[in-house]
Amino acid sequence: MKCCDILNFYKRGDLNRLAKNKIANYAGLPVDILRDELSKALTTYDYVKRNIQFRKPPGYTILDIVVHQNKYSVPIQKIKSLAQKEISNVIEEAKSGDGLKEDKQYDLYGKMLKTAWDYQEDLLPPEANLLTALREHLDITLAEHRLLEARLPNFKFSENSFKREIEHFANAGIIFTYEDNYIIPEEIVERIKEVWGIELDPDAYQRLLDYLTNSQLSSALAKLHLAKGGSKQARIKRILDKGIEPSNFLGSLTASDLKIIARNTKCPHKARKDELIPTIVSHIKRREDIKPPEPPPPPKPKPEPRLVTDEAFKEALSRFVNSQLTKILARKKLKIGGTKNQKIERLANSTYSLKTILNNLNVDELINLCRLYHLATRGRKSEIIRRIIEHFQDYQIKRSTATPKELFSIYEDLSKQNKNAYRDIGINDSNILMPTVTADFERATRYIFESIFRLTVKAQTPGREEPDGIIKEDRIILYDCKTVLSPPYELPIAHRDQFSRYIKDQYDKLEPHAKTALKCFIIIAHSFADKIEDKIKQMKVEPYIPFCLVTARDLKLIAEKWLQEQKGKTLPTSALIFQGRYTLSEFKKKFV
């Protein structure tokens, strides 16, 4: 369990006790903040080291028992007997001398250890630091230190010493009580292992060594001045028994051997040896080498047939009340926040058809929608839904009274559905709905292509699933306008499917000799998301044609430049064929 999870079971009084001398002004902190602050304070390396290093017996033994238990938890009633038994085992092993057979200066370290403990039968921080430095210098392992310590007269188990150590760890927030167990939080276990110099647990170390070949083990043992004979398992046991740290062992291998281990363990490669060693150790520690492969992401839902145009879809949704939109978004596990227009935009850009959306309304709600459009209200739910869809398949979006030239003057505002811009051209925006803004944006776009660029444009047939416009000259270019309430335009899945379908449908309609004339698909929006090109690359478009992305601002600038310099002339369609983001500067390059 994490430290914060354990603290959730502690009462305020217990939290205050733990926080004393650790957290400033703890008494005035809200309980949630106090838990967070305690979790941070108790799990730092320095704090854990200060409270566990060179504790009197059986302090180390208690921690060692809990750290090596499943879930770092031991029943309260069992821990004393386990600690007593382990102390006896260590004393017997120390007497036998079996674990102290290396050619090391054990006597020197043992005398220093005894001298340190003899003074007031305790270790001061400076003494503890000196012993640590000496142990590292003499290459005394932690296991060897424990055996040398077990030879000291004060290394013994007693009721008083057990109670003293348990109380110390409990007051320090190293060991906690949870239900009927003593438990150490996961983060503190990791800090304890760091203090003890344990880079890997035995099982993880064994797993790492299993990746090595016999020749690699033999070579490493020779460099470490250890016997290199025996079977692979005998060599691995020798390494584990000698207490050689994983990083030291890996350091005895060549860079090429380390790269082979990294490859076999699926570990990220590093160019330098000193970077690769800790990376491999960390990789094994996190069990990344045996982590099952990530399951493939679930297939993205295929967009449902739209049945009606985007504008008609938004018009239908605009008649829903806010609570209905929220309910549908929640059922479809889409974001439910935002304004009504943002919710409409979210549903319109989703993969769901108008039929699916309507099916989320009850019969009374569908009947109310029918009455708004003077439709018959009789029949079953499925019949009412079909009647509403048929209505919107032939539905004509109400346009504003603005002329195309006036709409051109507020073109960029229309692209982001800014209704306030209508005031700039003398139109009251109070009755302007979002579908009207979308329709006016399309009218202004057609004005640019027809009246300014002098191109032949076939507009979308009302109620048909077609691009907003098809430029038909010597080359055929499709274009679609996308207003966005909250720029930039993201190219949602529904639109990717829509554009692919537009291209295929137009290609299939062309005579065989004219199919090569289909040259480009232009998307016009206020602005585009950073990774939109990557989404376009992932689209399965047949046949492939370039996608030209042009912002409303750039298209307006291009149109104004053409009016200024080439008024009355027809824009060559080659000027509109482009892959990627098309700007005024790219347009100028076409005429250099």
pLDDT above 90 for 93? no
The amino acid occupying position 506 is Q
Rounded to the nearest 5 degrees, what angle is found at the Cα of 389, between the Cα atoms of 493 and 416? 45
Cβ neighbours of residue 392 closer than 8 Å, sequence gap 6 or more: 307, 308, 312, 313, 315, 316, 354, 463
Which architecture characterizes domain 404-589 according to CATH? 3-Layer(aba) Sandwich (3.40)
The CA distances from residue 179 to 95, 165, 171, 432, in Å, are: 39, 20, 18, 64
Q: What is the mean pLDDT of the chain?
A: 90
Q: Pairing mode, if any, of strands 518-525 and 547-551? A: parallel
Rounded CA gap, 551 and 571, in Å? Answer: 18
Beta-strand ranges (E) seen in 206-327 are none
Per-residue pLDDT tens for 142-200? 788 888 888 888 788 889 999 999 999 999 999 999 989 999 999 999 999 888 878 88
Rounded CA gap, 479 and 88, in Å? Answer: 85
pLDDT band of residue 126 (cuts 50, 70, 90) is confident
Cβ neighbours of residue 434 closer than 8 Å, sequence gap 6 or more: 314, 318, 341, 344, 345, 417, 483, 485
Nearest Cα neighbor of 41 from 55, 26, 28 is 26
pLDDT above 90 for 385? yes
Rounded CA gap, 541 and 545, in Å? Answer: 8
Amino acid 182: pLDDT: 94
CB 477 within 8 A of CB 506: no
111 CB-side CA count, 13 A: 3
CB 361 within 8 A of CB 369: yes
Rounded CA gap, 408 and 415, in Å? Answer: 11
Rounded CA gap, 519 and 148, in Å? Answer: 84
Classify each residue of 64-102 as buried b or exposed e, where b means 16 or more C-beta atoms within 10 Å of its C-beta.
bbbbebeebbbeeeebbebbbebbeebbebbeeeebbee
Per-residue pLDDT tens for 450-477? 999 999 999 887 767 789 999 999 999 9
Q: Give the residue extent of every domain in the chain.
A: 43-196, 202-290, 310-393, 404-589
CA 204 to chain CA centroid, nearest Å: 27
Per-residue pLDDT tens for 204-224? 999 999 999 999 999 999 888
pLDDT band of residue 122 (cuts 50, 70, 90) is low
CB 235 within 8 A of CB 214: yes
Q: At what angle do helices 31-42 and 45-52 cross, to 10 degrees?
A: 70
Amino acid 54: pLDDT: 77
Nearest Cα neighbor of 11 from 176, 163, 184, 182 is 176
pLDDT band of residue 551 (cuts 50, 70, 90) is very high
